[in-house]
Structure 1
Amino acid sequence: MIAAKQASAPAPPLWPAVAAMTALQALVSLALFAPGVVAPRAGLSIEQLSLFSTTAFTISLVSSFWGGTLVQRVGSLRVAALCAVAVCAGMSLALFESGWALLGAGLMLGLAVGPETPASSALLGRLVPAEKRAMVFSIRQTGNQIGAVVGSLLLPPIAVLLAPSSAYAAVIVCAAIAFAGFERLRPAYAMTPPSMPRLGLFDRLRLISADRRMAALAVASIPFSGMQVILNTCFVSFGTSELALSHVEAGWVLASAQGAGLMGRLGWGVVATRLRSARAVLVMAGVGMAVCALLLGLCGPLLSRSILILLTIVFGLTASGWNGVFIAEIAKPGRVAEATGAVLTASFLGLVAAPLLVALLTPRVGLGGSFVALGLTAAAGTAVLLMERSHARE
C-alpha cells in the first residue's frame, strides 16, 4: 500500500525548476561578464581579459566531460549549488584585482561553466512533457542573455561610483542567494537522473568527421562562438578606448546588443520555422555578424552615436542570437545528446582560441583591427556552410 502511494506521488512542479536552471545560467553569465564590463575602471588590459576568458573556457571544456557523472552522483540542484560556490570563489579571487587573481577567477568559473548545462538538461529533461520541450529549453537558454544584460547595465555604474571590487562583491551576493535557493529546492527534486551518454574527446571528433553536415556546422561554430565571446568580453574596453564612449555608456550599448541577442535566440527560431531551414538562418547570422564586425572595426570611430547603437544591436542579434537555431540544426534523431556534445566541443575551441587571437593582434592593430580579423573568420565560417549546402544539393 505504501509502495503504491509512493508510485502515484505527483511529479515535482516544472516551473520552479525552470526558474532555478535559468537563474543558474544567468549567474554564470553574469560572472563571466564581470571582468570585461569593469575593465576600464579596473585597469585590466586586453591581454589579461583574454587570458581570463581562455582559462575559463579551457577549464569548462574539461569539466563538461565529467559534468554528467557529477549530476548522476549528487543530483542537478546540488551541482547547481556547487556552481554557485565556484562563482563565489572566482569572484572572491577577482577582488584582489591582479592578473594572477583574474587567472584564478577564470579557473574557478570554468568549473561552473562546464557542469551547468548537463545539470539543467538532466533535471528539465525529466520534467518537461514533449509538447513543451522546445519552449522550456528556449526559456532556459535566455539565462545567458539575462545575465549579460544585467551585468552590462548594473556592474559598470557600480564600478564607477564605488570600485571594481564592489561589482565583484555584487556578483558574490547574487551567487550566495542562488546557492540558498538551489539548496532549498533540492529536496523536492531529489530524483535519480537517467544515465547520460559519455563520449571522450576523440569519440566526439570521430562523430563529427563521419558526417559532412556536422563537420561543416562544427567548423562554422568555431568563429561564430569566438565572435560572441569577444563581443561580450572586449566591447566595453573597445568602446572606451576607440569609440569615445564613457564606461557607463559602453555598458549600456553592450546591454542593448545583449537584449537583441535575447530576442534573437527566440526570434531566429521563428524565422527558421517560417523558412523551414535552420541552415539558412545560420548563414544570415554569419553574414550579419561578419558585416557588423568589419564595419565596427573599420568605421566605428567615425559613426554617429545612433548608427553605432543600431549597428551594435544588429551585432548582438546575430553574434549572440544564433545558438538556439544552431543546437536545433545539429540534433540528429536517435543521437541528439551525442551530436550536440560533439559539435559543441568544436564551439569551445572558438571560445578558447578567439581571446588568444585578440591578445596577439590588439597590441599590433588595436581592438578595431581584431574585430576586423574576427569578421573575416566569421565570413569564412559562413562560406563553409554555403559550400556544404551546395555539395548536399549536388
Structure 2
Amino acid sequence: MPCAPERSTPPPPPRDPMENPRKRDAILPVSVMLCMHTLIALTVFVVPVMAPEIGMGAEAISLFVLLLYFTSMITVPFSGPCTARFGPMRMMQLCVLACAAGVALCCVATSEAIYGGGVLIGIGLGLATPAASDILLRYTPESIRSFIFSLKQAGVPAGNLIAGLLVWLALAIGWQNAFLLTAAVGATIAIVFQPLRKTWDEGRETDTRIRVNRQSYVNGLRMIKEDKAIRWLSMSSFVFVLLQVSTTSYIVTFLVEDVGRAHETAGSIYALAFAGGFFARVLFGVVADNFIPPLKTLGILGLVMGAAAIATAQFNSDWSVYAIGAVTFLLASTAAGWNGVFIAETAARAPKGQVSHVLGISLILTYAGCIATPPIFLGLLALSDGSYSFAFSLIAVPAILVGIRLLLLKPDQV
C-alpha cells in the first residue's frame, strides 16, 4: 500500500524588522544616517571655521549662524508632514542636496551669497533630524536606542573634525575649491543611497498635505507641556545648544585673535577636539542605555561642559598648545555630546506615530537656542570690550544650572 506523501510544513513568514527589530537590523540604517548627517554637519560648521580665511569677523559669523538656525527653526515643523508624504529617506536626500547647494553658493564670495548659502544649509539641517529619527526608531531595539541615536548624532562632531581639517586643504587649494569639493561629495552621497528609498520609504502617506497651522503648533507644545520629561529635555536642549554653538562658531576665531595661535593650529585643535566628541557621543549613549538614566546623564554633561567653558575662558598666550587642546577636547566632547541622548529619549517618550512631529516641535526650542546664541555672544563681547574670555565664562552658567536641576529630578517626577 503506497504511503501517503508527507505534507511539507510551509515556511514561516519572513520577519518584519520594523515589528520586532534586532540589533543587527540597525547596522545599515545607522551607518547611512551617520554618513548623511556628517555631511550636513560639515556644511553647517565649515563657514565659521574657515572665517579667518574668508575674511569674516565675529559680526559676520554671527549673522551667518543666526540666519542658518533661524531657517532651521521655521522649517523643522514641516518635517513631520514632509516625512509622512515623501518618506524619510527621500527627505534625507533632499536635505543633503540643500546643504551641498548652500556650500556651493558660498563660493560666490559675496555677503549675499554666503548668507543665502546659510539659508539653504538651514533648510537641510532643519528637516533632517526628524526624518532620520523616523528611520532609526523603526529599526532599533529599545535596549540600544540611546547608543544608536548617539552614534547617528556622532555625525555632528565628525563634521566638526572634517571642517577643522579642511583648513589645511583650503590653504593648499583655496577655500572656494575646498567648498566645491564638499558640495560634490554631498551630491554624490544623496545619489548613492537612492536604492534604499524603496524599503525605507514604504508606507508613506502620499495624500498628506504639507502645511503647519497654528493648531499643529499648539498640539505639539501641549504634548511637551504635559510630559514633564519631554519638557525638561526640551529646556536642556535650549541651554546646552547655547554653549555648543558658541564653541563651534567662535572657538577658532578666539584662538586666532585673542590667544595668538595660527589659523592652521587653531583648526587642528578644533578638529582633534571634535574627534573626541565623536567617540564621546557614542560613549554617552552607552552610559544612558546601561548605567545612568538619560536625564541624569544629561545633568552630568551640563555640569562638565559648563566647567570646561569656564576653563576655556582662561586661555591666553602663555598656555601651551597641549593644555589648550586638552581643555578644548573636554569642552567639545561634552558641549557637542548630549544630542544623541536627548533625541533618543524624546523619541522614546513621544506617542506612537507622533515621533517626527513631537521631535520637530521639541527641536524648535533647540533651534531657538541656536538663534539666541549669536546676539547673546555678541552682547557679551560688547559688554566686555570684545573679551571672548568674558563671553565664554557667562555662557557656561545656564548649562551648569540646568545640569544641577536635571540631577535633582526624582524618578517619580518624570
Assess same fold via TM > 0.5.
Answer: yes
Confirm or deny that 1:332 pairs with 2:332: no
Matches within 5 A, 1:241-260: 241-260=257-276
Q: State TM-score, norm by structure 2.
A: 0.83
- Relative distance call for 1:300 and 1:290 in structure 2 (3 A) is farther
Q: Quick check: 1:365 aligned with 2:381?
A: no
Aligned residue pairs, count: 387
Provide the secondary structure at the position in 1 that maps to 2:50: helix
Structure 1 residues 389 and 188, CA, compared in 2 at 3 Å: closer, same or farther? Answer: closer
Query: In structure 2, which of residues 64, 83, 92 is the aligned counterpart of residue 80 of structure 1?
Result: 92
Residues in 2 aligned to 1:189 and 1:388: alpha-carbon distance in whole angstroms? 38
Equivalent residues in 2 for 1:128-207, closer than 5 Å:
128=140, 133-153=145-165, 155-187=166-198, 189-193=200-204, 200-207=216-223
Residue 231 (structure 2) aligns with: 215
- Note the alpha carbon deviations across 1:312-343, whole angstroms, 9 max, x for none: 11111211112223334444274672654443
* 2:372 matches 1:353: yes
d(CA) in 1 for partners of 2:398, 2:248: 17
For the pair 1:58 / 2:77, whether they are aligned, the reply is no
Task: Report the equivalent of 2:55.
Answer: 43
CA contact (8 A) 2:146 2:286 kept: no
Which runs of structure 2 are paired with 1:21-32 in the superposition (5 Å)? 21-32=33-44
In structure 2, distance between residues paired with 1:308 and 1:137? 30
Distance 1:63 1:313 in 2: 32
Report the equivalent of 1:382: 403
Q: 1:17 to 1:220 in 2, by over 3 A?
A: closer
Return the structure number with greater helix share: 1
Deviates further, 16-25 or 210-219: 210-219
Q: CA deviation at 1:44?
A: 0.8
What is the distance in 1 between the residues matched to 2:230 and 2:106?
38
What secondary structure does 1:271 align onto?
helix
CA apart distance, 1:120: 1.7
User: Per the alignment, do residues 291 and 11 of structure 1 end up closer, same or farther by CA in structure 2, a change over 3 Å counting?
Assistant: closer
Q: State the AA in 1 paired with 2:126.
A: G
Matching residue's letter, 2:256: T
Asked if 1:270 corresponds to 2:286, the answer is yes
Structure with max Cα Rg: 2
- 1:221·1:381 contact (CA, 8 Å) conserved in 2? no
Q: Which residue identity lines up with residue 219 of structure 1 in the other structure?
A: M
Give the match for residue 293 of structure 1: 309
Q: Secondary structure at the match of 2:349?
A: coil
Which one is further off, 181-190 or 281-290? 181-190
Cα-to-partner distance string for 1:353-373 (whole Å, 9 max, x where unaligned): 012212333343332222122
Which of residues 30, 34, 46 is equivalent to 2:46? 34
Distance 2:413 2:133 in 1: 32
| Segment drifting more, 253-262 vs 71-80 | 71-80
Cα offset for 1:132?
5.7
Give 1:332's aligned amino acid: R
Unaligned runs of 5+ in 1: 1-6
Match of 2:338 in 1: 322
The aligned amino acid for 1:247 is H
Equivalent position SS for 2:314? helix
Q: What is the CA–CA distance in structure 2 between the aligned matches of 1:88 and 1:392, rounded to whole Å?
A: 44
- Per-residue CA deviation, residues 41-74 of structure 1 (Å, 9 max, x unaligned), is 1111111111111111111122221122222222
Q: What is the identity, as a one-letter code, of the residue corresponding to 2:349?
A: K
Distance 2:229 2:138 in 1: 30
1:108 positional shift: 0.5
Residue 98 (structure 1) aligned with residue 117 (structure 2): no
Question: Aligned to 2:386, what secondary structure does the other structure show?
Answer: helix
Structural RMSD (CA): 3.2
**In 1, distance between residues paired with 2:79 and 2:351?**
22
SS in 2 for 1:63: helix
Partners of 1:150 and 1:389 lie apart in 2 by 40
Hey, what's the Cα distance between the residues in 1 that align with 2:16 and 2:400?
51
The residue that corresponds to 1:344 in the other structure is: 363
From the superposition, tell whether residues 341 and 184 of structure 1 become closer, same or farther in structure 2 (CA, over 3 Å).
Answer: closer
Q: Which moved more, 1:42-51 or 1:260-269?
A: 260-269
Counterpart of 1:309? 325
More deviation in 25-34 or 292-301? 292-301
